[in-house]
Amino acid sequence: MRIVIAGGHGQIALRLERLLTARGHEAVGVIRNPDQAKDLRDAGAEPVVLDLESSSAQEVAEVLRGADAVVFAAGAGPDSGAERKETVDRGAAVLFADAAELAGVRRYVVVSSMGADPDHPGDEVFDAYLRAKGAADAYVRSRTGLDWTILRPGMLTNDAGTGTVLLTASTGRGPVPRDDVAAALLELLETPATAGLTLELISGNVPVAVAVKDIAGN
């Protein structure tokens, strides 16, 4: 498969690119900063420089044309303010969804966040982030032209992956290594029957591939 990933230089995205390449897939990473291209190539991915905050849906669709699936893994980052949560975490996810439909790419996998909710209360930046992610998720779920899966990991860590997780509609809070999030994304991409599911992910005791197979079609 040819998989295009928004936020291609993110910590989860780089892990996913390595996994996709090792599994024989073609990974394409969308980045804003051309200085990051070498890191993507080192991960086995093809870099494409494109600013999702200033591009049109048609421009993004040209990048997505011919892809088998897309992954939205972009984010404004922990040091950004509430305004960029809106333009990246919501706006870019909406743009990427629109572009996927224009390009005829049905499979759309979103890296969201546990607690994402368009009506989440509060005035802190993290509250704005959860509202933005929740609004983006709601928009994606409304698109009948997309076979979407939304993955909401728990607290992300850089611990080595264990390869075992808990993956259900509602897990309760808990940590999960980025390694295991990337592994779950790979399995979700290879499992079309997970379309239409919003899933939470934390560390657990079920092998990633088994957890995805168990939830597929539910």
Q: Which residues belong to the active site?
A: 129
Q: Is 164 helix (H, G, I), strand (E, B) or coil?
A: strand
Map residue 25 onto helix, strand or coil: coil
Residue 181 to residue 163: CA distance in whole angstroms: 9
Nearest to 96 by CA among 142, 48, 55: 55
For 14, 64, 67, 121, the CA distances from 82, given in Å and listed in that order, are: 25, 28, 32, 14
Name the 3-class secondary structure at 31: strand
Selection from 57, 73, 88 nearest residue 3 by Cα: 73
Q: Which residue is associated with the tokens 């939830």?
A: 215
- Cα separation, 143 vs 206, in Å, equals 31
